[in-house]
């Protein structure tokens, strides 16, 4: 037995309160706090950009669903539909020209009659707008002393726009001659041109401008001519008078065709087909809303300011803006919810474009994906998880399934194109190319790996005791699987399937490679049970892409976002359905 050490020889330990944190504990807490701050910051940044993205889509897409329409009394004039007189037959209606019979006939006359019935004087309204713009230009150049009377007479209808244009044009031409003479080296010619300009301005009533030109002309020499030319150009008198003269000529060019261009009346094949189906409407008047031209929509939404002709789209002028304001004030043009956007075919014309066939095509393809992927995906998962022998071959299959889940979607499009090439040799490509059946089949191939992985994970999540208990009471492996394990794994299987379908809904590249695009001339599909799956169709992602490439801003920045909102709504609906199914069938152990 050894002696105990003397307690006084042991090292003294520093006493520390249990309520005080040690230095190591403080460092751990600091690291944990830093990680929490980093995580919260990352989530905040992600949510911020997500909110910005959603706001940019919703703030543009929702207003675009309200369309400006001109509410007119459409008169189906028999004299236009049948120039020979007599009863108009459906066969004759089918041969009526869309341009002369409807665009420049039925629609143009009905719009003009509606405007006149509202008490709007077309020529006076157009002339007043051009006169106001000319007055702004002349006022900026200090020419209102001579422009006030002609413009007032023009508004009152005492003189024609051509007469006022002649007054402004002659004065502007004289100034242009003086400007050209000053840019030369002939002093005598310059003096003569300046005197002619002063005389023209004085005769037109522009006394202030005449004084300015006279001041430039006084004591002019060869050396002073460049400075005099610069001084004359700096006054802006020439450009103001010539621009005002050009504006005064415009009201005479605003004819019935220009008035009809304010609404979308071109290629109204839908109206002709409607009359063919309802020939009794010939000679009757029908109150209807007609979409306004896309350029007019730009003005009414504030995108187009309309300050000058240079800012205007081709074939559009201040007269159209004046008539638009008058029609809005008369309650002829109003905004209505664009229901036909959800049923119309895709078109380059933003006034009548829609997502009808694309929406139906995407839904039909999702139906095909659901059937193919659910059946074959679940069957493959059950076999691999419960019945397949564990060897190198099944390991090879499992690895490839995991790899296929990460393969880019365009690879599956190439596979679909290869299927098309194979079918070409059989002579049946034209009957299946661009159909919902082929599109759904290609998307099913892309979705299968995701569903197989999700289904196997759901099967593994079922407690082994369930399987063992079923086998213990005499059930076969098949009975144990289909009577006990599969029902318990159903929530996870349905969730994985729906998420896979939602992923397939937004795919574009595979569908383009198999000819499923807007160039197929697709119409609204029939029932899937009556051949609708074998009809030419469209898809939502391709239509969204083409809407975003449209040259018109209301379509590119508005309706494209509206189509995206429809896709997002479908995705949210599918994810919401997955949550509901999981909560309904889920069992906790």
What is the residue-wise DSSP string for 48-111?
A: HHHHHHHHHHHHHHHHHTEEEEEEEEEE--HHHH-TT-SPPPHHHHHTS-IIIIIIIIIIHHHH
CA gap 454, 436 in Å, rounded: 25
Supply the mean pLDDT for the chain: 82
Q: State residue 21's pLDDT score.
A: 67
CA gap 134, 130 in Å, rounded: 6
| pLDDT per residue as tens digits for the range 402-419 | 888 888 888 888 887 787
Handedness of CA 203, 204, 207, 209 (dihedral sign): negative
Higher pLDDT, 8 or 27: 27
Higher pLDDT, 509 or 319: 319
CA gap 290, 197 in Å, rounded: 51
Q: The sheet that has 285-291: what strands, in order across it?
A: 285-291, 66-75, 333-337
N residues, the chain: 589
Q: Is residue 512 over pLDDT 50?
A: yes
Banded pLDDT at 20 (limits 50, 70, 90): low
Helix (H) or strand (E) holding 552: none
> Rounded to 10 degrees, what is the CA torsion of 523, 524, 527, 533?
40
Which alpha helices (DSSP H) does 250-391 contain, by range? 256-260, 269-277, 294-300, 318-329, 356-382
Q: State residue 1's pLDDT score.
A: 47
Higher pLDDT, 40 or 416: 40
Q: Which residues pair with 263 in a beta bridge?
A: 292
| pLDDT per residue as tens digits for the range 208-234 | 888 888 888 887 777 788 888 888 888
Structure tokens at 287: 């109150």
Q: Is residue 44 over pLDDT 90?
A: yes
CA gap 70, 114 in Å, rounded: 10
| pLDDT per residue as tens digits for the range 253-297 | 888 888 888 888 776 777 888 888 888 888 888 888 888 888 888
| pLDDT per residue as tens digits for the range 238-251 | 888 888 888 888 88
Smallest Cα–Cα separation from 164: which of 173, 175, 152? 152
Structure tokens at 344: 């119309």
Question: Residue 138 burial (CB < 10 Å; 0-12/13-18/19+)?
Answer: buried
Q: Is residue 52 over pLDDT 90?
A: yes
Q: Which of 361-370, 482-491, 525-534, 536-545 has the lowest mean pLDDT?
A: 525-534
Structure tokens at 274: 């409607």
């Amino acid at each position: 037995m050894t002696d105990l050490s003397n307690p006084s020889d042991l090292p003294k330990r520093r006493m520390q309160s249990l309520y005080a944190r040690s230095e190591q504990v403080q460092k751990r807490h600091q690291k944990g706090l830093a990680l929490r701050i980093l995580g919260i910051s990352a989530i905040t940044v992600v949510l911020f950009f997500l909110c910005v993205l959603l706001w940019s889509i919703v703030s543009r897409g929702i207003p675009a669903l309200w369309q400006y329409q001109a509410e007119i009394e459409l008169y189906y004039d028999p004299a236009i539909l049948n120039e020979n007189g007599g009863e108009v037959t459906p066969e004759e209606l089918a041969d009526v020209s869309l341009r002369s019979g409807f665009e420049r006939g039925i629609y143009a006359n009905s719009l003009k009659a509606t405007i006149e019935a509202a008490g709007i004087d077309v020529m006076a309204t157009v002339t007043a707008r051009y006169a106001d713009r000319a007055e702004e230009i002349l006022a900026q150049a200090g020419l209102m002393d001579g422009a006030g009377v002609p413009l007032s007479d023009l508004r009152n209808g005492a003189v024609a726009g051509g007469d006022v244009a002649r007054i402004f044009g002659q004065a502007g031409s004289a100034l242009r001659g003086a400007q050209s003479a000053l840019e030369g080296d002939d002093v005598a010619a310059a003096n003569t041109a300046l005197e002619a300009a002063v005389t023209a301005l004085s005769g037109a009533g522009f006394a202030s401008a005449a004084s300015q030109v006279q001041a430039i002309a006084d004591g002019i020499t060869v050396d002073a001519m460049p400075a005099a030319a610069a001084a004359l150009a700096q006054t802006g008198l020439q450009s103001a008078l010539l621009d005002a003269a050009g504006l005064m000529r415009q009201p005479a060019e605003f004819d019935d065709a220009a008035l009809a261009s304010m609404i979308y009346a071109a290629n109204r094949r839908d109206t002709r087909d409607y009359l063919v189906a309802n020939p009794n409407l010939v000679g009757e008047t029908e109150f209807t809303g007609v979409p306004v031209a896309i350029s007019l929509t730009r003005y009414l939404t504030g995108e187009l300011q309309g300050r000058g002709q240079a800012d205007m789209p081709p074939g559009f002028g201040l007269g159209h803006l004046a008539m638009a304001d008058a029609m809005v004030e008369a309650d002829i043009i109003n905004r209505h919810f664009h229901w036909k956007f959800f049923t119309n075919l895709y078109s380059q014309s933003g006034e009548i474009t829609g997502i009808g066939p694309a929406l139906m095509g995407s839904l039909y393809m999702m139906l095909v994906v659901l059937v193919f992927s659910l059946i074959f995906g679940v069957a493959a998962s059950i076999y691999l998880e419960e019945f397949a022998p564990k060897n190198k071959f099944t390991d090879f299959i499992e690895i490839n399934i995991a790899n296929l889940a990460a393969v880019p979607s365009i690879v599956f499009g190439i596979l679909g194109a290869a299927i098309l090439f194979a079918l070409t040799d059989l002579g049946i490509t034209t009957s299946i190319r661009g159909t919902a059946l082929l599109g759904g089949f290609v998307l099913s191939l892309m979705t299968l790996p995701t569903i197989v992985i999700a289904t196997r994970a759901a099967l593994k999540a079922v407690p082994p005791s369930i399987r063992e208990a079923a086998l213990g009471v005499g059930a076969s492996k098949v009975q144990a699987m289909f009577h006990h394990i599969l029902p318990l794994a159903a929530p996870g299987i349905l969730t994985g399937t729906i998420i896979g379908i939602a992923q397939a809904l937004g795919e574009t590249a595979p569908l383009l490679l198999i000819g499923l695009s807007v160039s197929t001339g697709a119409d609204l599909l029939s029932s899937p049970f009556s051949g609708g799956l074998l009809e030419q169709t469209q898809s939502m992602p391709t239509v969204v892409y083409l809407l975003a490439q449209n040259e018109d801003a209301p379509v590119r920045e508005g309706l494209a976002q509206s189509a995206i909102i429809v896709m997002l709504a479908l995705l949210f609906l599918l994810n919401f359905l997955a949550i509901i199914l999981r909560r309904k069938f889920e069992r906790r152990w």
